[in-house]
Amino acid sequence: MTELVLDHVSVRFTVPGATVSAVNDVSLRVRPGECVALVGESGCGKSVLAHALLGFLPGNAQTSGTATLTGDGPPLDLLSTSDRVLATTVRGRRIGLIPQSPAAHLTPVRTARAQLEEAVRVHHPADNAPREHAYRVAARAGLSPADLDRYPHELSGGMAQRVANALALVGDPWLLIADEPTTGLDPHLVDGLIEEFRRMVDDDRAVLLITHDLAAAQRVADRIAVMYAGRVVEVGPAGRVLDTPRHHYSRGLVDALPDRAFTPVPGQPPLLTDLPPGCSFAPRCGHAAAVCAVTPALTDDTHAVACHVPC
Ligand SMILES: Nc1ncnc2c1ncn2[C@@H]1O[C@H](COP(=O)(O)OP(=O)(O)OP(=O)(O)O)[C@@H](O)[C@H]1O
Ligand code: NI
């Protein structure tokens, strides 16, 4: 069975005079037929984790732990696999990425059409009508033929997002990692993308939806993982995380939803170069106790939490 299993994944960046702990000891499983949402405030490490899984980290990054992709041959640890193998067997094929800043990831000198057609040729070499195939995928992502003749610098943010969404879907990946994929999209395109995710999940594939927007996660996720300062602090079935959150940070995110109390979580996340010992949320938490000076482990039940004094 195809599965992605993250086991104690950490990512650190060495910067002049400091180490940035962007991802800290993340263990998470993504199974066929599910959409997992990874939610958390800006800067908590969501995109860094996505980049780590696809071998897109810069040279100043070090990883530890494993991210094992099973199915289709021997298990592959994505964190230690060579760039060549990732490029030829994983990226776009088994795992597709909708990057967070799509415009920056498009080739500047080629039209959207040329990039999509090339992706069709790479991923579907037997398809003798790549133009039509590219157009079908583009239309599903909300692009018109005229949009396809534009170069990346001629695309609005929302159009670049649509091109990136189409490009990530061309290879019919087993897992789609979608990093804030609805940025700049009109509501009907958001609905279309969510339908696309549901189709993948119904087809026993998987989606890892990265978002800072819990309301977006609520619409589509089967499970929600809440990340704080690089750590997964709670993970469980979407309904349970939203209705009965166990971590005080998740409780805060739920209360910040417009249809709830609409009050933001007070305070600021810590600097990742200067993580306080113990629970990183303790300084912002109204329930912190002496025991929170020790980093709480994530429990291993279906609705897991990393907190000494859960809600
Ligand atoms: N190349 C790098 N060198 C040093 N620090 C980095 C590097 N890339 C990312 N970081 C740091 O890693 C942390 C996590 O960043 P990341 O982009 O994963 O956040 P995020 O959760 O995706 O936030 P957002 O919702 O704003 O996209 C941030 O503090 C960021 O500054
Ligand atoms: Ni991000």
pTM of the entire structure?
Answer: 0.96
- Residue 117 CA to residue 170 CA, distance in Å, equals 9
**Measuring from atom 4 of ligand 1, which residue has the nearest CA?**
13
**Measuring from atom 2 of ligand 1, which residue has the nearest CA?**
13
For the CA of 230, the closest atom of ligand 1 is 14
Which ligand number lies closest to the CA of residue 42?
1
Of 13, 21, 26, the one to substitute when testing ligand 1's pocket (max ligand atoms within 8 A of C-beta) is: 13
Of 48, 208, 226, the one to substitute when testing ligand 1's pocket (max ligand atoms within 8 A of C-beta) is: 48
CATH of 4-305, one of 3.30.1150.10, 3.40.50.20, 3.30.70.260, 3.40.50.300: 3.40.50.300
ipTM: 0.99
- Residue 221 CA to residue 301 CA, distance in Å, equals 18
Q: Where are the domains of the chain?
A: 4-305
Q: How far is the CA of 254 from the centre of ligand 2 (A)?
A: 20
**Measuring from atom 29 of ligand 1, which residue has the nearest CA?**
43
Render each residue's pLDDT in the chain as its tens digit; 311 residues: 899 999 999 999 999 999 999 999 999 999 999 999 999 999 999 999 999 999 999 999 999 999 999 998 899 999 999 999 999 999 999 999 999 988 888 999 999 999 999 999 999 999 999 999 999 999 999 999 999 999 999 999 999 999 999 999 999 999 999 999 998 888 988 999 999 999 999 999 999 999 988 888 999 999 999 999 999 999 999 999 999 999 999 999 999 998 888 888 889 999 999 787 899 999 999 999 999 999 999 999 999 999 999 99
- Residue 195 CA to residue 165 CA, distance in Å, equals 13
Residues 292, 285: contact at Cβ < 8 Å? yes
